[in-house]
């Protein structure tokens, strides 16, 4: 396959890097401010192909849209149940549980994903924290 970097693809990638774990919709809103003619379909298509080519990680959460992450190293996330924001959790990746799962199942485990649920720092300390 021809791995040419189209301008649109580069714009989508740069936008994901500039935002913090954005959903496709936020990428689209951001890109559209500079390039009003770009379509949501184009943004989706480029996000998918960037994930297929392992330039971006697709993060899947229950009851929440997929997010995109340029950090390809295995790491953990917190999904804030108040604002829906996704942030990195700064803790060591537990590769020993991959080995344990591999030993238990005999399968070749490639990795695992963990999503913590809770309230992010901004929601906890923000001006609206008392509301709700």
Query: In the bound complex, what is the minimum distance in angstroms from residue 18's beta carbon to Zn ion?
Result: 14
β-pairing verdict for 115-118 and 76-80: parallel
CB of 16 closer than 8 Å to CB of 7: no
SS3 at position 111 = coil
The sheet with strand 115-118 has its strands ordered as 86-89, 76-80, 115-118
Query: In the bound complex, what is the minimum distance in angstroms from residue 105's beta carbon to Zn ion?
Result: 27
For Zn ion, give the closer residue by CB, 9 or 77.
Answer: 77
Q: Which residues bind Zn ion (CB under 5 A)?
A: 69, 71, 80, 82-83, 85, 88, 120, 123
For Zn ion, give the closer residue by CB, 65 or 85.
Answer: 85
Query: In the bound complex, what is the minimum distance in angstroms from residue 122's beta carbon to Zn ion?
Result: 5
């Amino acid at each position: 396959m021809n791995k040419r970097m189209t301008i649109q693809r580069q714009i989508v990638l740069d936008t994901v890097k500039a935002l913090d774990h954005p959903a496709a919709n936020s990428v689209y809103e951001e890109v559209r401010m500079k390039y009003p003619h770009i379509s949501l379909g184009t943004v989706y298509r480029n996000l998918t192909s960037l994930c297929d080519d392992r330039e971006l990680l697709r993060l899947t959460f229950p009851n929440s849209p997929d997010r995109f992450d340029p950090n390809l190293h295995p790491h953990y996330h917190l999904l804030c149940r108040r604002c829906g924001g996704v942030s990195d959790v700064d803790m060591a990746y537990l590769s020993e549980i991959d080995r344990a799962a591999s030993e238990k199942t005999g399968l070749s485990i490639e990795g695992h994903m963990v999503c913590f649920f809770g309230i992010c720092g901004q929601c906890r300390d923000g001006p609206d924290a008392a509301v709700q």
